[in-house]
Amino acid sequence: MGPMTLFRSLIVATLMAAGLGASSLQAAPIGSEAPISLQPGQPPDGAWPVARQEMWPDDTDSSGATVISKDFLDRLDDIIKRGDARDRDEALAFLFQYDIYWGRLDLDGEGADEMVVWIGVPGACGSAGCYAAVLGRRPRGWESVAGFDLEEPTGNLCYSHAGPDGYPMLRSRREAVWWTGKKFDVICYLACDGWGDPYGTSPEDLATMTPAEFKIRDELRQLPWCGAGQAN
């Protein structure tokens, strides 16, 4: 089954699911999960500029005009220097082919109106992963609604149509993101202070997490990795 076929199957399952009306964090049992993968390429339907802004916000020149981020252009120039492209157009095509991955899915229970875009940085992701932006389609177009760290875009995501609030949930090896009925919530549940102490709790977590969130984190830690029969 290809990535897009799997996404469509998950979307259908989500739309058929009952009990999607919760609006507060209830720490309900998490439903069964399925592994999913993102696909390489340019995110469609105008989503790419929004995702790029998340990673490389535009700069302002001396006249006050908005210009493409120098960091982003430097990234393209690095591809040229490595010999993988002759100019920036070819470098951008190379970036889409090897470093940018995306996929549509339903994270708010209202159809496949979200998109996950993973922006890989060769040699820089490491055990913490690279940034994955969660975009939501709104009347004015795509908007960034959440984000989390993702080590690899293929075979490293689990999806459930019934997360902690009864809404769909997406998780990587370290973090989970889901819709609460009012907003997207993101919880780090593993290696939040680094892989040296995978189950450690940071002072920030102790100060800010609610009892319900701690309960969710404990449940996430106990879940086997989807489709692999192995624990986190």
Kindly state the tokens that stand for 48: 């790419």
The answer to whether 115 and 135 have CB atoms below 8 angstroms apart is: yes
Report the pLDDT value the prediction gives residue 123, as an integer from 0 to 100: 58
DSSP sequence for 172-226: -SSEEEEE-SSSEEEEE-SSTT-TTSTT---HHHHHH--HHHHHHHHHHHHSEET
Report the pLDDT value the prediction gives residue 213, as an integer from 0 to 100: 85
Report the pLDDT value the prediction gives residue 79, as an integer from 0 to 100: 92
DSSP H helices, 58-191, are 70-81, 88-98
CA atoms within 13 A on the CB side of 135: 27
Show me where the domains of the chain are located: 3-16+28-227
Report the pLDDT value the prediction gives residue 192, as an integer from 0 to 100: 80
pLDDT per residue as tens, the chain (232 positions): 444 443 333 333 332 333 323 333 444 578 888 888 899 999 999 999 999 998 889 999 889 899 999 999 998 999 999 999 999 999 999 999 999 999 998 888 787 788 999 988 655 676 667 889 999 998 889 999 888 888 888 877 899 988 888 888 999 888 899 888 888 888 888 888 766 778 877 777 778 888 888 888 999 999 888 865 454 5
Taking the CA atoms of residue 53, residue 37, residue 112 and residue 101 in that order, the dihedral angle to the nearest 10 degrees is: 20
CA distances from 173 to 97, 126, 127 (A): 24, 13, 10
